Amino acid sequence: MPAYVIVEAEVLDEKAAHAYRALAEPSIRLYGGRYLIQGSVPEAAEGEWPPSRVATVVEFPDMDRLRQWYSSAEYGKAKAARQGAMNLRLLFAEGTEEAEEIPA
C-alpha cells in the first residue's frame, strides 16, 4: 500500500533551501519515492493557507520504504542542510488500496 510524505514548508533562506532540495531529491528517488506535488502554493478551497507556505507530497511504495528513506544517511545529509533554511511540518500517511471502479 502506498505511503505519503506531506510537507508544509515556509522557506526562510532560498539559497539554503535549494541546497536541501538538491540533496533530498536524489535520496527520495533512491528509495523509490516520487513527487506528486513539489513546492506548490495551494489554492485554498476552504479555510486559509498562508501565502508564504508551499506544499509538497511525495509517494513511496509503502510505509517501510518511506521510513527507510527518512532515517537514511542520504536524507540525513539533506536534513542537516535544511537547518535554518525552512520551517516545516512533515507528516507521514498511509494510502489506501486501489479501489475498484464503481459502475455508472
- pLDDT for 2: 96
Q: How far apart are CA 57 and CA 64, in angstroms?
A: 17
- Indicate the domain borders of the chain: 3-43+52-94
| pLDDT reading at 23 higher than 60 | yes
| pLDDT tens digits for range 28-47 | 999 999 999 998 888 888 98
Under CATH, what is the fold of the domain 3-43+52-94?
A: Alpha-Beta Plaits (3.30.70)
Q: What is the dihedral of CA 71, 74, 78, 79, to 10 degrees?
A: 20
pLDDT of residue 65: 98
CB 69 within 8 A of CB 27: yes
Q: pLDDT confidence of 100, banded at 50, 70, 90? A: low
What letter represents residue 37's amino acid? I
Which stretch, 59-63, 83-87, 95-99, has highest mean pLDDT? 59-63
